[in-house]
Amino acid sequence: MIYVVATLQIELGALEPFVNAACPCIEATRAEPGCIHYDLCASVTDPERVVFVERWNSRAALDAHLASPHMLEFKAVSKPFVKATKIEIVQSEQVEQL
């Protein structure tokens, strides 16, 4: 299983247009083969930070997502709102749940 945490710094005041741009991509991504979980969260302490939380059944599924037309479109449409991006990919055979 693959976990992805994609943290983005967006322009101040850009949350609404960013979310509007993200919604079609989120919907399409959730229908992709191998997508287990895909959601966007906004920070309650930093108005310029949003986080995509993702879970994929394989690296191949994640790679296909990254190359998908809806993902490429989202990157282009959201580019004016994004100041920085940090993507962390976690591959683990065992995840402890509390």
- For 52-88, how does the pLDDT look when each residue is reduced to its tens digit (9 = 90+)? 999 999 999 999 999 999 999 999 999 999 999 999 9
Name the residue ranges covered by the structural domains of the chain. Answer: 2-91
pTM of the predicted model, to two decimals? 0.91
Q: For a pLDDT cut of 90, what percent of the chain falls above it?
A: 92
* 91 contacts 56 by C-beta, under 8 angstroms: no
C-alpha 94/C-alpha 92 separation (Å) is 5
Confidence check: pLDDT of 34 > 80: yes
2-91 — its CATH code? 3.30.70.100
